[in-house]
Amino acid sequence: MTWKLDCGSYKVFVIEDGYYWRDPATYDERASEHDWRFHPKADDGKVRLNFGCYVITDGDRTIMIDAGIGDIDQPDMVAGLMPERFDALGIARDSVETVVYSHMHYDHIGGSRRDGKVVFPNARHVFHTKEWDHWKTVSDEFGKAAQAIMEPLFDADLVDFIDEDTEVLPGVTAVESFGHTPGHLTISVISDGTRTIIGGDVSNHPFHVEHPHWSLPVDNDHQQAGNTRDRLFERIRDTDTAFLAGHYPMPGVGKIVTDDGVRVYQPTAVPKV
C-alpha cells in the first residue's frame, strides 16, 4: 500500500515495498508484550517487519529515499512491490532526479534495479562515502549483497557520494546519523513550518524510542547506534516533528511524545493513496 503525508510544499509518499514475518525473539529478549503493542502477531507468534521507502515531490521535482528490498524470493516474505506502486502515483520513473539511500543494507538498495535494469535511470544515486568505504571491503552477507547491487549503478555512472550533511532539495537534507552502519543517513524535510524526519534504520522498532540502547544484531556499532537514536528522539520529543521509519508497522508515521514521564512513539494516522 501507499500513504500520503503533506509536508509543506512537499508531498511525501510512503511506499510499502514488502514485508516478512519474523520471530520476535530475534529482536531483544528484554522486550515485553507491552513493547510489542504496535505489532499484531500472526497465529504462530511471528510479527510483520515492513520494508518502506519514500517519494518526495513538489510536483516539479521528485526524489526517492531508499528503494526497498527489490524482487527477492524468501519464505514468509512479500517483496519487490515498489516499482508498480511508484508507477501508480502517475510519476514517470525517468523524472526522478535523485535517490538518496539511508545505507547499503540490501533491503534498502535492492529495489534500485529490476530485471537487470536500473529502476530510476536518470537519477543520481547518493550515498555517504563512509558507507561504501566500509561495505566494499566486507565479505559477509551484507557486504556481498551491497557490492553486487552497486555494480550496475557504478557501471552506469549513476553514483554520487557525500561526506557531510547535504541539501538535496530546498529544505530536504541528508543528515549524518552514524551507528546502524558507518555512513548511515537520515533525511530532514523542513517546509512551510512543517518538520519531518525520515529515519532510515536509525530505529528498527518502536521500542527504541523508550529503549534506545536495545541494539539489534544488525547495528554495526551498538553503542554509537544507541547514542544516535537517543539524541535524535530527545531532540524531537514533544515537538510537531513527524518521524517516519520504514520497518515500523505501516505507514510508520508518528510523533515522539512523553507519556507519564516516559518517551514513547505515538503513531499518526495518514491517508492511503
* Position 73 confidence tier, pLDDT thresholds 50, 70, 90: confident
- What the block records as the C-alpha cell of 249 is 508497522
Any domain includes 93: yes
How high is the pLDDT of residue 88? 98
What percentage of the chain has pLDDT greater than the value 70? 100
Contact between 247 and 54 (Cβ < 8 Å) = no
Q: How far is CA 54 from CA 2, 29, 256, in A?
A: 9, 31, 20
Any domain includes 112: yes
pLDDT, one tens digit per residue, over 182-225 is 999 999 999 999 999 999 999 999 999 999 999 999 999 999 99
Q: Which residue has the higher pLDDT, 136 or 73?
A: 136
Torsion of CA 250, 254, 257, 259, to 10 degrees: -40
At 251, which CATH number?
Answer: 3.60.15.10
Any domain includes 250: yes
Contact between 189 and 154 (Cβ < 8 Å) = no
How high is the pLDDT of residue 105? 98
Residue the block writes with cell 507468534: 45
Q: What is the DSSP letter of 201?
A: T
Any domain includes 178: yes
State the Cα–Cα distance between residues 146 and 136, nearest whole angstrom.
8
The tally of domains found in the chain comes to: 1
What is the domain range of residue 33?
Answer: 2-267
How high is the pLDDT of residue 189? 98
Closest CA to 224 of 183, 179, 184, 175: 179
Per DSSP, which regions of 192-252 are E strands? 194-198, 242-244
The mean per-residue pLDDT over the stretch 254-261 comes to 98
- pTM for this model (two decimals): 0.97
Any domain includes 272: no
3-state secondary structure of 110: helix
* Position 75 confidence tier, pLDDT thresholds 50, 70, 90: confident
Any domain includes 94: yes
* Position 76 confidence tier, pLDDT thresholds 50, 70, 90: confident
Contact between 272 and 227 (Cβ < 8 Å) = no
How high is the pLDDT of residue 56? 98
pLDDT, one tens digit per residue, over 178-190 is 999 999 999 999 9
Judged against a pLDDT cut of 90, whether residue 60 lies above it is answered with: yes
pLDDT, one tens digit per residue, over 90-141 is 999 999 999 999 999 999 999 999 988 999 999 999 999 999 999 999 999 9
